[in-house]
């Protein structure tokens, strides 16, 4: 994959996030079926998760499978047994002339994507992103950038965080209760704090994507009036709002919910 394809790519019913050897894909096949596919250049398809249902009230089930670092297969549902084999035949084509990505699934469904945000892979984890002279808004945006990939016997975690988007894929089947959380969110910032608007979510109890996903190409601008001092809020726009609690030269502390505090560290 050419470096020019690194970025967040958005379609009407899909998202592809590419950063170096990591690729996280979200595809809406129909209103009540959304899939996420995690790919690593060295391994191939690492994990696939299907969310069945719509939202909270009409969620059916979530089926997921992992090919761990030892090449072993772990799944939470027999319906997921062939997911990795099937999606290994998916094809991603980057058209440099049109600056578009087309993703075609194993069963010939096609999704076209527009570049929403370019990723410079040599800068996303660079210490230059932690420049202390930035404004508070710029610090929140740039210090948060990064990409990661981790896999264990029954766990896989991957994420791509940019200025505008937060994309991650987490499946943990190691405990008594499975943890599944695959998400795309739009980031927004102001002097009062950081907000994130989830546009796609697949969890063990939830499957959803906004109706017209192309709208997520637009910048997300949080409403400053919706930030709560020493607390979090979930206002009418659907965003999650975290107010600034404390700022040092090395860390920005955000006030989460139920007393939680989130930290954004300078690189």
pLDDT given for residue 82 in this prediction = 94
More confident residue, 69 or 251: 251
Residue 222 included in any domain: no
Let me know: does 130 contact 267? Beta carbons within 8 Å.
Answer: yes
Name the band, by pLDDT with cuts 50, 70 and 90, for residue 2.
very low
Give pLDDT, residue 223.
95
Is 224 a member of any domain?
A: no
pLDDT at 184 over 90: yes
- Please give the angle made by the CA atoms of 177, 182 and 185, to the nearest 5 degrees: 135
Model pLDDT, residue 217: 97
Q: pLDDT digits over 95-152, tens only?
A: 999 999 999 999 999 999 999 999 998 878 766 666 778 899 999 999 999 999 999 8
Structural domain includes residue 249: no
pLDDT at 256 over 80: yes
Q: Is 50 helix (H, G, I), strand (E, B) or coil?
A: strand
The whole-chain average pLDDT of the chain stands at 92
Instruction: Please state the pTM of the whole predicted model.
Output: 0.94
Average pLDDT, stretch 258-264? 91
CA 205 vs. chain centroid, Å, equals 17
Q: Say yes or no to pLDDT of 1 above 60.
A: no
Domain that holds residue 162: 3-217
Query: Does a structural domain hold residue 259?
Result: no
Cβ atoms 48, 80 nearer than 8 A:
yes
Residue 253 lies in a domain: no
Number of structural domains (the chain) is: 1
- Domain contains 50: yes
Mean pLDDT of 159-172: 97
Q: Looking at beta carbons, which pairs linking 240-248 to residues 24 or more positions away fall under 8 Å?
A: 240/195, 240/196, 240/197, 240/198, 241/193, 241/194, 241/195, 242/193, 242/194, 242/195, 243/192, 243/193, 244/136, 244/192, 244/193, 244/194, 247/136
Q: What is the per-residue pLDDT across 187-237, written as a single tens digit (0 to 9) for each? A: 999 999 999 999 999 998 899 999 999 999 999 999 999 999 888 999 999
Q: Looking at the domain assignment, is residue 256 inside a domain?
A: no
Top pLDDT among 55 and 155 is at 155
**In this prediction, what percent of the chain has a pLDDT beyond 90?**
80
| Residue 83 is assigned to a structural domain of this protein | yes
């Amino acid at each position: 994959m050419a470096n020019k394809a690194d970025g967040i790519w958005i379609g009407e019913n899909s998202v592809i996030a590419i950063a170096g050897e990591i690729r996280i894909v979200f595809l809406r096949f129909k209103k009540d079926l959304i899939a996420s596919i995690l790919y690593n250049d060295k391994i191939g398809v690492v994990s696939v998760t299907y969310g069945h249902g719509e939202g909270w009230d009409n969620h059916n089930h979530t089926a997921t499978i992992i090919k761990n670092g030892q090449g072993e297969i772990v799944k939470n549902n027999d319906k997921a047994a062939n997911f990795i084999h099937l999606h290994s035949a998916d094809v991603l084509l980057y058209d440099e002339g049109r600056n578009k990505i087309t993703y075609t699934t194993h069963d010939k469904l096609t999704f076209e994507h527009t570049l929403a945000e370019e990723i410079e892979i040599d800068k996303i984890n660079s210490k230059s992103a932690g420049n202390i002279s930035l404004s508070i808004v710029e610090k929140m945006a740039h210090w948060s950038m990064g990409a990661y990939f981790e896999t264990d016997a029954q766990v896989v975690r991957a994420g791509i965080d940019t200025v505008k988007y937060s994309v991650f894929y987490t499946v943990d089947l190691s405990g008594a209760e499975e943890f599944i959380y695959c998400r795309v969110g739009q980031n927004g910032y102001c002097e009062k704090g950081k907000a994130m608007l989830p546009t796609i979510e697949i969890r063990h109890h939830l499957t959803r994507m906004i109706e017209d996903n192309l709208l997520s190409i637009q910048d997300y601008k949080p409403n400053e009036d919706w930030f709560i001092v020493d607390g979090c809020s979930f206002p009418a726009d659907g965003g999650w709002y975290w107010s600034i609690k404390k700022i040092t030269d090395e860390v920005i502390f955000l006030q989460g919910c139920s007393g939680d505090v989130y930290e954004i560290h300078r690189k």
